[in-house]
A and B are shown apart, each in its own frame.
Chain A
Amino acid sequence: MLHRRDARMKLLALLAVLVAVATTQPFGLVTASGFAALLGAGLLISRLPVTGVLARAAVVLPFTVTFAGIAWLAGEAGRAFALIAKPYLSALAVLLVVATTPMPALLAAASSLGVPRMLVLVLQFLYRYLFVVAEQAQHMWVAAQCRGAALRTSHRAGRFRAASGTLAVLFARSYEKAEGIERSMLARCFDGRIRLLAPPRLGWRDLALLAFAAVAAWSWRWWVAS
């Protein structure tokens, strides 16, 4: 369901929900459960693996629990709850959109919503080569570890230098890769402008998604505030 909706509308809906969550003050259990219900509904219609997504969103917890703990010790229990609930629910909302939208579609949407094209292109290249370069780093690191049985026993400065050498070589490989990409662009008559495909047309379902998310989140926000 959520997978097929337009990425632009999903991004705008995400912003509406995030801003509603961020600006609700105070953020108690009741308030939180309203937003949780909205996101839970989204999670159900998205057909994503529920426990998987809930667990994924928990990556924010180590950071938030630390600060919440401090707040709680300082005697601000309400704030401590908000410091855990708000980041968790926000992360859930982001995951709901990101997990149902391919990154390229997300970037194209960002571009048509006014993000500078240069940043969009850099993001596009970053995402495209993220795994290529990471894989290379992995191989180099494994190779270095295999060779480094001797290094491990040697002193720290030696290993520090070995790691920086590895990074320098990885940098060199990345640099060459970028040159190769530019060369292949030029070989296909690149004239200085990458033409992105036009985004697809909006349907009423896309607009309905945005309207529903925004109205639900904001009416809840106003209702708990009053």
Chain B
Amino acid sequence: MHIPDGFLSTAVWATAGAVSVPSVAYLARKSHRALDDGQTPLMGVMGAFVFAAQMINFPVGIGTSGHLVGGALLAVTLGPAAASIVMTAILTVQALLFQDGGVLALGANVFNMAIAGVLAGYLPYRYWGGSSHRKAAIFSGGFLSVFVSACLAMGQLLLSGVPMPRPVTYVSLGLFAVSALIEGGITVAVAGALERLNPSWVRAPEEKPRVGLGLILVAAMLLVSLGALFASSLPDGLERLAENLGIAGRARNLFETPLADYQARFLATDWVRKAVAGLVGLGVVYAACMLIGRAVTRRAAVSRSG
């Protein structure tokens, strides 16, 4: 889902931009491994490939068809850092030439699809791509890349105060899940066909297979994106949670005390508190998932060795 300009509140697009810009700069440096521009033709042509690939329709039943989005496929062929840059380039061209997604909203769209989406698309492959569940890993990568970015986009719209009754949210979630399943299917089919043509095109995952950890990370990823979505539809609930933990109060102090002298009270307005509380809440959810995941894998390791 490409968010156009004018949909996001200033707080949301500015925050997303503030996250995306340094991330892209970092990823650009990271994918610039060989310290030269020799890799850029491949990345650019692969971007063109993803564009062209979207012209090819895959029949998915009941008379409808879907097409590749490409985040996960790029991640398993080029590696995650280069894939993020290619996705960023694709989103930029879409925003400029095709008015598909806004220019100020590019920060948010890049975050959702090129950073979080590509990362989510790569995670399962990284941890269980080398195991016998390889196909499932690629499938869930395709699924997650689309599902996570759609949930994030939806969450940002809700955070921006775009009105959306509960039923609409549920229906959209269902639609996201369907298009994510389609992306998973297409990604597996194309990656398989690619491997038959030339096995070296699909990179070997960087990590040794760790199926358990992979599963848990996937579950965590899903929980976080769904959590983000629901948290943003009830910012008050999340704020209350944060307030109970004493975080929001501290956050308010953080903004008010050092800046009060400079009449920078706008920083302490409602949306900053909400945004900070939201982010902190998200962090809490994520940390909880990670901790639980860690504990489960450790227990699994213990029971296996014991």
Q: Are the CB atoms of B45 and A129 closer together than 8 Å? A: yes
A129 to B89, CA, bound (A): 13
Q: Which of B13, B47, B99, B186 contacts A57 (CB 8 A)?
A: B99
A94 at the interface (CB under 8 A from B): yes
Binds A, one of B55-63, B123-131, B132-140, B256-264: B55-63
- Sample of 28 A–B contacts (CB below 8 Å): A15-B103, A18-B104, A21-B6, A67-B157, A67-B164, A76-B163, A86-B6, A90-B4, A90-B5, A90-B104, A119-B24, A122-B89, A123-B44, A123-B93, A126-B45, A126-B47, A126-B51, A137-B56, A160-B185, A171-B49, A171-B53, A172-B198, A178-B41, A178-B44, A179-B42, A190-B38, A191-B36, A193-B36
Q: How far is the CB of B181 from chain A (nearest CB, A)?
A: 13
Residues from chain A with Cβ under 8 Å of B5 in the complex: 18, 21-22, 86-87, 90-91, 94
A159 at the interface (CB under 8 A from B): yes
Residues from chain A with Cβ under 8 Å of B59 in the complex: 156, 159-160, 163
Q: Which of A71, A122, A160 contacts B189 (CB 8 A)?
A: A160
Interface string of B153-193 (1 = CB under 8 A from A): 00001000111110010000000000000000110011011
Q: Are the CB atoms of A175 and B201 closer together than 8 Å? A: yes
Q: How far is the CB of A100 from chain B (nearest CB, A)?
A: 13
Q: Are the CB atoms of A94 and B89 closer together than 8 Å? A: no
Residues from chain B with Cβ under 8 Å of A103 in the complex: 96-97
A177 at the interface (CB under 8 A from B): yes
Interface string of A112-137 (1 = CB under 8 A from B): 00001011011111111110111011
Interface string of B250-291 (1 = CB under 8 A from A): 000000000000000000000000000000000000000000
What 7 A-B pairs have minimum CB-CB distances, sorted nearest first?
A125-B44, A86-B6, A192-B36, A90-B5, A168-B193, A164-B189, A126-B47
Q: Which of A63, A85, A94, A167 contacts B56 (CB 8 A)?
A: A167
B210 at the interface (CB under 8 A from A): no
Q: How far is the CB of A6 from chain B (nearest CB, A)?
A: 17
**Residue of A56, A103, A172 contacting most chain B CB atoms (<10 Å):** A172
A98 to B24, CA, bound (A): 23
Q: Are the CB atoms of A181 and B103 closer together than 8 Å? A: no
Q: Are the CB atoms of B38 and A82 closer together than 8 Å? A: no
Known: A163-B58, A178-B41. A130 touches B51 (CB 8 A): yes
Residues from chain A with Cβ under 8 Å of B186 in the complex: 164
B302 at the interface (CB under 8 A from A): no
Q: How far is the CB of A134 from chain B (nearest CB, A)?
A: 4
Residues from chain A with Cβ under 8 Å of B161 in the complex: 79
Q: Which of A59, A90, A129, A177 contacts B6 (CB 8 A)?
A: A90
A174 at the interface (CB under 8 A from B): yes
Main secondary structure of the interface of A (DSSP, over half): helix
Main secondary structure of the interface of B (DSSP, over half): helix
> Which residue of chain A lies nearest to B55 when distances are taken between CB atoms in the complex?
A137
Q: How far is the CB of B247 from chain A (nearest CB, A)?
A: 28
Residues from chain B with Cβ under 8 Å of A94 in the complex: 5, 95-96, 99, 102-103
Q: Which of A71, A87, A126 contacts B48 (CB 8 A)?
A: A126
Q: How far is the CB of A167 from chain B (nearest CB, A)?
A: 5
A163 to B197, CA, bound (A): 15
Residues from chain A with Cβ under 8 Å of B51 in the complex: 126, 130, 133-134
Interface string of A151-175 (1 = CB under 8 A from B): 0000010011101111111111011
Q: Which of A14, A106, A136, A163 contacts B52 (CB 8 A)?
A: A136
A57 to B32, CA, bound (A): 36
A50 at the interface (CB under 8 A from B): no
Q: Are the CB atoms of B48 and A174 closer together than 8 Å? A: yes
> Which residue of chain A lies nearest to B37 when distances are taken between CB atoms in the complex?
A194
> Which residue of chain B lies nearest to A23 when distances are taken between CB atoms in the complex?
B10
Q: Which of B13, B29, B45 contacts A174 (CB 8 A)?
A: B45
Residues from chain A with Cβ under 8 Å of B31 in the complex: 118
**Residue of A90, A118, A170, A182 contacting most chain B CB atoms (<10 Å):** A118
A171 to B70, CA, bound (A): 12
Q: Which of A18, A64, A182 contacts B41 (CB 8 A)?
A: A182
Q: How far is the CB of A159 from chain B (nearest CB, A)?
A: 5
Residues from chain B with Cβ under 8 Å of A185 in the complex: 38, 41
Q: Are the CB atoms of B4 and A164 closer together than 8 Å? A: no
A121 to B61, CA, bound (A): 40
Known: A14-B103, A134-B55, A137-B55. A122 touches B47 (CB 8 A): yes
Q: Are the CB atoms of A74 and B165 closer together than 8 Å? A: yes
Q: Are the CB atoms of B163 and A70 closer together than 8 Å? A: yes
Interface string of A18-48 (1 = CB under 8 A from B): 1101110000000000000000000000000
Q: Are the CB atoms of A22 and B38 closer together than 8 Å? A: no
